[in-house]
Amino acid sequence: MRLSARIVNTAASVAVLIGCLSLAAPAVSVAGAVEDGKKIAFSKKKGNCLACHAIKGGKLPGNIGPPLVAMKARFPVKNDLKKQITDARVKNKHSIMPPFGPHQILKSGEIDKVVEFIYTL
């Protein structure tokens, strides 16, 4: 959870870059969305999902939430996964997982990309 200034800056400039790229190329490919989603999920300033979840490809994960694996089996309907990531309180009123959508931690476009990435796990 502790943000070192350098990591924050890098994350911020990555985010800016992503912003420019998607402006230049409006039709984002699915593969691109998965890649972007991974960056957003792993960035401390953005999703910071690794604070709580083990995720393939991520280092030093926390263990507050369950490891994110077999997502297609856990969420046969992709939109249910989106709901979970948007606002975990819908399923568990007292969830420690941040309400990424309602608290504007992630923009809705960013959540879509994170969903694409998580759904590959």
Decide: is 33 part of the binding site for ligand HEC (CB under 6 A): no
What does the alpha-carbon distance between residue 64 and residue 53 come to, in Å, rounded to a whole number?
A: 7
Q: Which of 11, 33, 40, 50 binds another protein (CB under 8 A)?
A: 50
Decide: is 49 part of the binding site for ligand HEC (CB under 6 A): yes
Quick one: 10 exposed, middle or buried, by C-beta within 10 A (0-12, 13-18, 19+)? middle
Q: Which of 15, 34, 71, 105 binds another protein (CB under 8 A)?
A: 105
The span of 30-38, 68-76, 77-85, 94-102 binding another protein (CB under 8 A) equals 94-102
User: Residue 26: what residue type?
Assistant: P
Q: In terms of CB distance, is 25 or 89 closer to ligand HEC? A: 89
Decide: is 60 part of the binding site for another protein (CB under 8 A): yes
Q: Which of 87, 88, 101, 113 binds ligand HEC (CB under 6 A)?
A: 88
What does the alpha-carbon distance between residue 98 and residue 22 come to, in Å, rounded to a whole number?
A: 26
Chain contacts with ligand HEC (rule: CB under 6 A): 1, 41, 47-49, 51-53, 64-66, 68, 74, 81, 84-85, 88, 91-92, 95-98, 100, 114, 118
